[in-house]
Amino acid sequence: MPYYKHHVFFCTNQRSDGRASCQDHNAQEMRDYLKKKVKESGLAGPGGIRINNAGCLDRCGQGPVLVIYPEEAWYQYKTKEDIDEVFEQHIKNNQAVESLVV
> pLDDT for 15-49, tens place per residue?
889 888 999 999 999 999 999 999 999 999 999 99
101 is a domain residue: no
Please report whether residue 46 resides in a domain.
yes
Count of structural domains, the chain:
1
Predicted confidence at residue 34, as pLDDT, reads 98
Instruction: Report if residue 94 sits inside a domain.
Output: no
Give the CATH number of the domain where residue 15 resides.
Answer: 3.40.30.10
The answer to the question of residue 80 being in a domain is yes
Query: Where residue 62 falls among pLDDT bands split at 50, 70, 90?
Result: confident
Query: Is 22 exposed, middle or buried (CB count within 10 Å of its CB: 0-12, 13-18, 19+)?
Result: buried
Domain that holds residue 48: 6-85
Q: Is 73 contained in some domain?
A: yes
Please check whether residue 98 lies inside any domain of the structure.
Answer: no
Residues 6+ apart with CB under 8 A from 91: 6, 8, 38, 43, 49, 68
- Pinpoint the alpha helices (H) of the chain: 27-40, 80-85
| pTM beyond 0.85 | yes
Domain contains 95: no
On whether residue 91 sits in a domain, the answer given is: no
Long-range interactions of 87-92: CB distance < 8 A, separation 24+: 87/34, 87/37, 87/38, 90/6, 91/6, 91/8, 91/38, 91/43, 91/49, 92/41, 92/43
